[in-house]
């Protein structure tokens, strides 16, 4: 894979990670599921590149599954997220990577190596690649020139129109845009049920099945 994977993630700490999911499963389980999502994402990235990057909000020290995460991140470049809003943090993270970049979050444990390689292939033909999310946002952004992510600094994030507004900002900056497949973020218990069904063999999928089978999801 020519482009370098970049993951934006929040340290999976109880009470801070997956707060909407926590309303159903509780803070500790939500943080565990967040950690498993991140581990699945790291595994997919490791399978396609040895030049991976993590922009982290918070500290892994004391986070859920800390030791598993640190082992999985061996060889990664890890740096803190910087910026007042998510758009600024995204722009700053892209600016830390030299060369083509494919950026994803930690909310799509169903991500596959084929998804990453498809984005990489699309990025060879187009200066920008976007993967829309089912909730109206986006789950993947690829850029041949990572500095062009600066256009996202003013895009409202975590809104139903975020995907459309991001595409508008990229095209407005003169970037031809390719699109890869749509995925669903895991934000709620309903999302978790759907995504675990699509990817039952992931760490996240197996754990969600255990929780539902044991009636731990209320």
Provide the CATH topology of domain 4-211: Spore Coat Polysaccharide Biosynthesis Protein SpsA; Chain A (3.90.550)
Q: Residue 204 CB: number of other CB atoms within 10 A?
A: 27
* Phi and psi, residue 39, nearest 5°: -60, -40
pLDDT band at 134 (very low <50, low <70, confident <90, very high): very high
pLDDT given at position 89: 95
87 touches 172 (CB < 8 A): no
Percentage of residues in the chain with pLDDT exceeding 90? 93
Conformation bin of residue 178: beta by default, left when phi > 0, alpha when psi is -120 to 50: beta
pLDDT given at position 3: 97
Return d(Cα 65, Cα 79) in angstroms, integer: 19
2 touches 124 (CB < 8 A): yes
- The answer to whether residue 166 scores a pLDDT higher than 90 is yes
- The answer to whether residue 210 scores a pLDDT higher than 60 is yes
- The answer to whether residue 123 scores a pLDDT higher than 90 is yes
Q: Report domain extents, the chain.
A: 4-211
pLDDT averaged over every residue in the chain: 95
pTM of the model: 0.95
pLDDT given at position 154: 85
């Amino acid at each position: 894979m020519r482009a370098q994977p970049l993951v934006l993630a929040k340290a999976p700490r109880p009470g801070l990670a997956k707060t909407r999911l926590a309303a159903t499963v509780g803070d500790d389980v939500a943080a565990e599921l967040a950690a498993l999502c991140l581990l699945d994402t790291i595994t997919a990235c490791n399978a396609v590149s040895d030049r991976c990057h993590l922009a982290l909000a918070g500290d892994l020290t004391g986070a859920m599954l800390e030791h598993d995460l640190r082992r999985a991140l061996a060889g990664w470049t890890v740096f803190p997220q910087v910026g007042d809003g998510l758009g600024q943090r995204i722009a700053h993270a892209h600016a830390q990577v030299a060369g083509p970049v494919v950026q994803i979050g930690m909310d799509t444990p169903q991500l596959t190596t084929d998804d990453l390689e498809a984005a990489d292939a699309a990025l060879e033909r187009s200066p920008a690649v976007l993967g829309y999310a089912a909730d109206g946002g986006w789950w993947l952004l690829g850029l041949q020139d990572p500095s062009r992510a600066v256009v996202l600094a003013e895009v409202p994030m975590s809104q139903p129109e975020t995907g459309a507004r991001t595409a508008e900002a990229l095209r407005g900056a003169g970037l031809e845009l390719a699109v890869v497949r749509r995925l669903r973020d895991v934000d709620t218990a309903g999302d978790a049920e759907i995504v675990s069904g699509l990817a039952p063999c992931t760490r996240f999928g197996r754990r969600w099945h255990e929780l539902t089978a044991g009636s731990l999801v209320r």
